[in-house]
Amino acid sequence: MVALGVEPPDFRLLEPLAASLARTFRVPGEVGREWIDVGFSYNAQRGQYWSTAILERLASMTDGTFRLLGVTPVDLFVPVLTFVFGEAQLTGVCAVVSYARLNEEVYGLPAHPELVAERLLKEAVHELGHTFGLRHCDDWRCVMASSHSVERLDTKTAEFCTRCACGAAIRP
């Protein structure tokens, strides 16, 4: 796991996330101590960062890496959507997730760090699921269900349904 940002990030979210992902995927995970400046992906017109450009940069850094997850506080986009919580290479090794829109304060509500951590885990598992070849699932409780809002993200679990777990050789 690698931290991404435009200034040195807060690593406190990353260690618990890495531990949860290690349990989910049953592989050890580590958090890199360096961070990557994603200023190169900034689109001034949108005021957001292009997730595909970040993925390309991450891909250039993978040399025999099992999976590489980038985690960032910046707001991500792809050209056809207003924003994305994350993006991944389908059957690739890289994924990126943002917690910019996972914070309750963005919606005028009081801070809720536990909810942010839960949402970030769901989004990270979802994007990493894509790297295992999984597509969006019709089961709204499955972590692979599509989420275009935090409300939708909150309705699903952080677990793969049986079909998705078997489809990617991931055991629930």
Domain locations in the chain as residue ranges? 2-167
Q: Please state the pTM of the whole predicted model.
A: 0.93
Which listed residue (56, 127, 151, 159) is catalytic?
A: 127
Mean pLDDT of 104-127: 93
For position 171, what pLDDT does the model report? 43
Closest CA to 69 of 51, 83, 82, 81: 51
Q: If you classify domain 2-167 with CATH, what class do you get?
A: alpha beta
**Active site annotation includes 34:** no
What is the overall mean pLDDT for the chain? Answer: 92
For position 168, what pLDDT does the model report? 64
For position 4, what pLDDT does the model report? 92
* Token pair listed for 156: 């699903």
Most confident of 13-17, 32-36, 77-81, 105-109: 77-81
Q: Which residue has the tokens 């990126």?
A: 96
Confidence of residue 22 (pLDDT cuts 50, 70, 90): very high
